[in-house]
Structure 1
Amino acid sequence: MLPRSFYIAAIVLLFCALVLSILSSISLPTFPALDFVRISYSNTPRSKDFLSQLRFGIWGLCEYDGTGKRSCQFTGHGYGILLRDFNQETTAFIGPSWTRGLAIHPVATAVTGIAFGFACSKHEHGPFITAVSSAVAAFLMTLAFIVDIALYAFVKEQLDKLPHPGTTTPSSAFWMTFVSLILVIAAGGSVFYARRKDVGSEYPTFSSGTGGFLSRFRKN
């Protein structure tokens, strides 16, 4: 019963991780609220000529002007953007190489989906494949999270070069990736523990009712 409860826990954990990973992989511009890095400018004049917020996603970015109007661009992965200060004099450039790595998120999502599928299946080697694919998914999500951190750090570094830099913060998809990583690691650990329990239960045990090895030498 104990291994079964761990398998069920792994299915639940993988399902939650998969949902979060799918949402973060879609990100903006489909879901404008799901971005990885966000730049916010305080005290922005209420004018369409000024930028109040900039959001980075996998497949594009969204800009918000001083009036709150949103403008999203579906650029595909690997896009660049030129940042300017209010006076339009000083610039900072975020190159495509810093956003291209975000494409690893859908790959990690696909592997997580494979792990979840085998966790739910009755395949003979389902638990083993689930454990292996969970480990691969955790590795890919770790790489994805490192890419997210690198993008955040570089955007902040470039923005700080401007006279009025604004504020750079990790956003919703950034933290969803982190939570997905924790869930996948926990799921993989649950499956691994359950498999060890299953394998351990297959070994024969000595029963005291048989009398043991010396019982054969006893007199009747």
Structure 2
Amino acid sequence: MKLFYVPGVICLLFALVLGVLVSISLPFLPALDFVRVRFADSGVMTSGAGMTELRFGIWAPCYYDTTGARTCLSAGHAYTISISNAAKTADVIIGSSWTRGLAVHPVAAAVTFLAFLMSFSTHHMVTLLASLTSFLAAMLTLIAFAIDIALYAFVHHEVGKLPDINASTRTSAAFWMTFATLLLLLIAGCTVCLGRRKDRLSGASTYPVSSTQEKPSFLSRFRLRRN
């Protein structure tokens, strides 16, 4: 049983830690963003300010100016941000419909926390629920990861439409931490499920086998009567 349960609990623990860190994201953890846009040419404008790098988090976007100072917009969940070139001849808008879905990350982290708590139980039904909850958290994480991919693809496409801008769009730490969380949750769900099945089979093999009494033969009845 421990051969499967212990790795499952450890995977859930790591998945929970990664999920919580990703859910905090920007502006509280500057390094944990999903998509980054780096501008080789300064003077790119967003909300009236020049920047050299733009980062997308769950709760706010943050940008760095030419001096390296970081500024995070107090936009909150489902924010919208506009980007234009230095001459302000063209601009693109990253709308709230592309950032609203990032809130799936905290939901997946909450479900992972429930699965982690239930994984410590020795009751068969609770461990089964822990396995199912792990798969549910994995499904939510998969949805969140798909949203991250969509955000990256949209930002990459929109920034590429701006003229006279040398910019590069790439995925960041929170993006790949989400992918690692997905793998850990899938492993945890499988190992907890296998541990429960192995424990059930081992418990069934410990039941004593009832011995069958030998049925008396027809002649033995007459011997009993004669005695």
Classify the TM-score, shorter chain.
0.7 to 0.9
> Is 2:197 the counterpart of 1:199?
no
Given that 1:52 and 1:66 are in contact with CA atoms closer than 8 Å, whether structure 2 keeps it comes out as yes
Which structure 2 residues correspond to residues 1-220 of structure 1 after superposition, within 5 A? 3-44=1-42, 50-123=50-123, 125-163=125-163, 164-204=165-205
Q: Which runs of 4+ in 1 moved over 6 A?
A: none
Closer, same or farther in 2 for the Cα pair 1:206/1:191, shift >3 Å? closer
Given that 1:53 and 1:63 are in contact with CA atoms closer than 8 Å, whether structure 2 keeps it comes out as yes
Structure 1: state its 5+ residue gaps.
none
Equivalent AA in structure 1 for residue 134 of structure 2: S
Percent of pairs with identical residues? 45
Given that 1:40 and 1:168 are in contact with CA atoms closer than 8 Å, whether structure 2 keeps it comes out as yes
Task: Say how many residue pairs are matched.
Answer: 209
CA RMSD of aligned residues (A): 2.4
Q: Which has the larger radius of gyration?
A: 2
Q: Distance in 2 between matches of 1:74 and 1:92?
A: 20
Q: Distance in 2 between matches of 1:96 and 1:186?
A: 33
The Cα offsets for residues 30-83 of structure 1, whole Å up to 9 and x where unpaired, read as: 1111101111112437xx963100000110010101111110123221111111
Q: Distance in 2 between matches of 1:195 and 1:120?
A: 12
- Distance apart, 1:128 and its partner CA: 1.0
- Distance apart, 1:144 and its partner CA: 0.4
Equivalent AA in structure 1 for residue 133 of structure 2: S
Closer, same or farther in 2 for the Cα pair 1:49/1:129, shift >3 Å? closer
Equivalent AA in structure 1 for residue 19 of structure 2: S
Partner residue, 2:223: none
- Distance apart, 1:122 and its partner CA: 4.4
Q: Distance in 1 between matches of 2:118 and 2:35?
A: 33
Q: Distance in 1 between matches of 2:207 and 2:108?
A: 46
Structure 2: state its 5+ residue gaps.
216-227
**Aligned partner of residue 88 in structure 2, secondary structure:** coil
Closer, same or farther in 2 for the Cα pair 1:8/1:204, shift >3 Å? closer
Q: Distance in 1 between matches of 2:193 and 2:205?
A: 21
Q: Distance in 1 between matches of 2:123 and 2:207?
A: 31
Given that 2:41 and 2:166 are in contact with CA atoms closer than 8 Å, whether structure 1 keeps it comes out as no
Q: Distance in 1 between matches of 2:207 and 2:96?
A: 65
**Aligned partner of residue 78 in structure 1, secondary structure:** coil
TM-score by structure 2 length? 0.85
TM-score by structure 1 length? 0.87
Equivalent AA in structure 2 for residue 175 of structure 1: W
Q: Distance in 2 between matches of 1:22 and 1:74?
A: 21
Given that 2:35 and 2:169 are in contact with CA atoms closer than 8 Å, whether structure 1 keeps it comes out as yes
